[in-house]
Amino acid sequence: MNGGHSLFGNYDLRFWVAPALEFSVWPYVESTRRQLTFLYAIGVQHNDYVEITIFEETEETRPAHSLFAGLSMDETWGDATVGLEAFQYLHDPERHRLELFGFLSVRLLRGLDFNVSGRFARVKDQINLRAGEATDEEILLRQRELGTDFRYGFSFGLSYRFGSIFNNAVNPRFEALD
């Protein structure tokens, strides 16, 4: 279950409720070092929109499902993650999204890492778009989500981590739903 509010995305309220099944190839005892997981969720997404959409909706609840596959490795030199996520509305199979992402962190010194990440998505699930044309101001100030077929991003930087070596005890299950 997750949800939120986004004026940019035209959501006054949006939430997704879905039971999920996760399968991990490697045993739980190895989850801090490596994971290969597959997660399937099926449920409903409720959208309460700020403004009427291009499909003339102000509020809707739609069945949907998602599939996630991810590989994470934590080595002495750093860590790497790659994943693939597919999402589809069940009321209209043409409304779907396929996203590939990756993250690499290389340890330069104790606590200092160089990070690089990227993502690419094929987008066909934008049922939330506002009706009408966007103004130049809305486009320039990124106040309104626009229709697109693709999304992509790339970033890199440095990070410094400090603190106890014992502070990373977490349960890695169902991380794909965050």
Q: What is the pLDDT of residues 121-141, one digit of tens each?
A: 999 999 999 999 999 999 999
Pick left, alpha or beta for residue 166 (phi over 0 → left; psi -120 to 50 → alpha; otherwise beta): alpha
Cα dist from 161 to 108, 157, 167, 170, whole Å: 12, 13, 11, 17
Tally of domains within the chain:
1
Asked if pLDDT for residue 169 goes beyond 70, the answer is no
Which pLDDT tens digit goes with each residue over 35-66?
999 999 999 999 999 999 999 999 999 999 99
User: What's the average model confidence in pLDDT over 153-160?
Assistant: 96
What local confidence, expressed as pLDDT, does residue 166 receive?
A: 60
Can you list the pairs that 18-22 forms with residues at least 24 positions away whose Cβ atoms lie under 8 Å? Answer: 18/42, 18/43, 18/44, 18/64, 18/65, 18/66, 19/43, 20/174, 20/177, 22/173, 22/174, 22/176
The SS3 assignment for 30 reads: helix
Cα dist from 73 to 37, 117, 171, whole Å: 12, 15, 16
Backbone φ, ψ for residue 52 (5° rounding): -60, 140
**Per the structure block, which two tokens stand in for 151?**
């999304």
Which pLDDT tens digit goes with each residue over 65-79?
999 999 999 999 999
Instruction: Give the pTM.
Output: 0.84
Asked if pLDDT for residue 112 goes beyond 90, the answer is yes
List the domain range (segments joined by +) for residue 144.
2-177
